[in-house]
Amino acid sequence: MKLGFIGLGIMGAPMAGHLIAAGHEVFAQSRSGVPPTLVDAGAIASKTATQVAQSADLMFIMVPDTPHVEEVLFGEHGIAKGLSPGKTVVDMSSISPIATKQFAQRIQALGCDYVDAPVSGGEVGAKAASLTIMVGATEEAFARVKPLFELMGKNITLVGDVGAGQTCKVANQIIVALNIEAVGEALLFAAKAGADPARVRQALMGGFAASRILEVHGERMIKRTFNPGFRIELHQKDLKLALEGAGALGLSLPHTASALQMMNSCAANGGAQLDHSSLVRALEIAANFQVAQA
């Protein structure tokens, strides 16, 4: 197929690479330019998102936040200006569910399909093509895009209509954030009490407290390996979306709010670009004690 891919960062570049490796013609564009490795693999570099939309029948977007998606779609050199009826736009960014529905209406008015398909699994999942993909779309659009999703992920679910994928991703980010906070508190408690946090983690991995967060991010906390992964600043954005949505729905999400405050503390102490597992640093600052030394 003639595909487009816009946004070639930590996640987007390997995702686009899987599409190229499967034999698809991929027209690529990114603010920072198309990585030479993708060009060498066969990506066709485009100067603008408009050019991508003119060349491709189906295009993916993978950028950081809601305003970035809006610019890619409707900016001066946006996708909308290059679309023709029958094409499909798939946004795999993690953005506002409310804005997603608005964007979809504008794209659908041009005679095109719109799919929201945020992902979970981070850089590791993007590289391994093992991402979890949460999809909001019509049944027809989902059937069209699913074979391409299968080149990038393993757990692919049609959650509901457009916007449902983003709602699912916000729920995912609530669970991940609270688990990171819980693992951080547990390891900090164990270390302060004099136990070896590495052995505590090993023991807990065999019990009911075992989780992917304890496995991966617990190890990061102990080894002090906070290179991203998934940046604190991006998880801040996702938790803000959760709380904005909760406000609109009249819900109280107290522990989501506390997790956001922990991430705000990390960012205020220079950690916005670090992996979200570094949330533990906010707990350590408050305790004046560190889980482990580097």
**Residues with catalytic function:** 169
**Cβ pair 292, 224 in contact under 8 A:** yes
Sign for the pseudo-dihedral over CA of 215, 180, 124, 156: positive
Q: What angle do CA 248, 254, 257 make, to 5 degrees?
A: 80
**Cβ pair 83, 112 in contact under 8 A:** yes
Host H or E run for residue 25: strand 25-29
**Cβ pair 63, 94 in contact under 8 A:** no
**Cβ pair 282, 227 in contact under 8 A:** no
Which residue's structure tokens are 């807990």?
A: 204
What's the helix, strand, coil split of the chain in %, to 5?
A: 55, 15, 30
